[in-house]
Chains A and B, each alone.
Chain A
Amino acid sequence: MTMILSVAVVAALGLGLGWLLGLASQWLGATIDPVVERLTEALPGSQCGQCGYPGCGQAAIALSKGEAPVTLCPPGGRVVAEKLAEILGTTFDPGNLPDRGPLLARVRTDSCIGCSRCIKSCPTDAILGATKQLHVVLEEACIGCGACAEVCPTGGIDLEGIPVTLRNWRWHKPGVGHA
């Protein structure tokens, strides 16, 4: 008798609490939009910030709200843009997708006055230098976001493609033609 009552008490308590939690989740449940989840999966997930959002998660939220174009992701390029458009059920114009490859910031040595503003604006600490000293961009850390070029008072920072060297030269992809 005690055994059956014990089981009944625990079962009733469990069911009751479960029911209350179910009710609470309808009220409070943080609904993760399935579209946002799929968009986040489609994005590269490297959190590089070249789209202008802090990370891929925030970019996915902006995409789902229609605040950002599907072509926002430079590293993802055309393939990711197509995937994003498919998830969102929209089409995109591949013509306006600048296929310029990854960019790097570069300090022009004759324009740099050593004001160190670009150092403070860099999200990845990729610029090295001190006040009244020539600054230099660390290529390994630069994500090509262009924040430094915006704040530079002399316009002395260029965004350039990565120069082709013997180390990174590759055959062109078949069917794409010469980029």
Chain B
Amino acid sequence: MKEYLLLLLGTALVNNVILVRFLGLCPFLGVSGKLETALGMGLATTFVLTLTSGATWVVEHVLLQPLDMMHLRILTYILVIAAVVQFTEMAIQKASPVLHHTLGIYLPLITTNCAVLGTALLNLQQDNSLIQSLLYGAGSALGFTLVILLFAGLRERIALANVPAAFAGTPIALITAGLLSLAFMGFAGLPVR
């Protein structure tokens, strides 16, 4: 139990997908303008990441490894991810048309979110079991949601601040992201991998 908790904590904070591994930066900068949309995006990505972590593990160990078809890995993973994203989009459209509208193009773009494929490949690299894979996916997604929410909150305040003209908009957002990343370096001291 403790081992699983540490795995969750380690992926969410110490090896944060965005700020430490630098994956999934497109939605990080694209959908972090408002707190509500950031939360919606975080939840959608959480759903997709957790589900794909499990699904890609199944594809890897049931289909690819017995048939010795490891060269198809990236192709099949993308296929699985695309299917899960499509499923998520249908679910969101049914549950909340407003959220579906606000997320817009970023929802189908979860397919090409490198955090999703990256987590699946990292799972494989670390030889995780199915449960570990699911937790790894959930942990990464929690870290993703946490960071995108923090960043959205910061950007909402920066939008009201008096920023020099040369830095207004994306430059100050990138500087903030860098500072946030530095802050997350502090978690490297935690005794978890």
Contact = CB atoms under 8 A, between A and B. Distances in A.
Interface of A: 5-6, 9-10, 13-14, 17-18, 20-21, 24-25, 28-30
A29 to B, nearest CB: 6
A13 B63 contact: yes
List of 4 A-B pairs having minimum Cβ-Cβ separation, nearest first? A17-B83, A30-B93, A28-B90, A28-B94
SS class, residues of chain B in contact with chain A: helix
Given A13-B59, A30-B97, A6 B79 contact: no
Contacts of A6: 69, 71-72
Contacts of B75: 10
Contacts of A21: 83, 86-87, 90
A9 B72 contact: yes
Contacts of B83: 17-18, 20-21
Interface string B76-99: 100110010011001101100100
B114 to A, nearest CB: 21
A125 B2 CA distance: 57
B151 to A, nearest CB: 30
Interface residues on B, range: 10 to 19
9 contacts: A5-B67, A13-B80, A14-B79, A17-B83, A21-B87, A25-B90, A28-B93, A28-B94, A30-B93
Given A5-B67, A30-B93, A10 B72 contact: yes
A28 B69 contact: no
Interface of B: 59, 63-64, 67, 69, 71-72, 75-76, 79-80, 83, 86-87, 90-91, 93-94, 97
A98 B67 CA distance: 74
A5 B69 contact: yes
B76 A10 contact: yes
A28 B90 CA distance: 6
B94 A17 contact: no
B76 to A, nearest CB: 6
B68 to A, nearest CB: 8
Contact of B67 (A9, A14, A17): A9
Contact of B90 (A13, A14, A29): A29
Contacts of B97: 30
Contact of A24 (B59, B64, B87): B87
A135 B151 CA distance: 41
A94 B69 CA distance: 71
A18 B80 CA distance: 10
B89 to A, nearest CB: 10
Given A13-B59, A14-B79, A24 B69 contact: no
A32 to B, nearest CB: 9
B91 A28 contact: yes
Given A6-B72, A17-B80, A24-B87, 10 more contacts: A6-B69, A9-B67, A10-B75, A17-B83, A20-B83, A21-B86, A25-B90, A28-B87, A28-B90, A28-B91
A9 B67 CA distance: 9
B192 to A, nearest CB: 35
A17 B90 contact: no
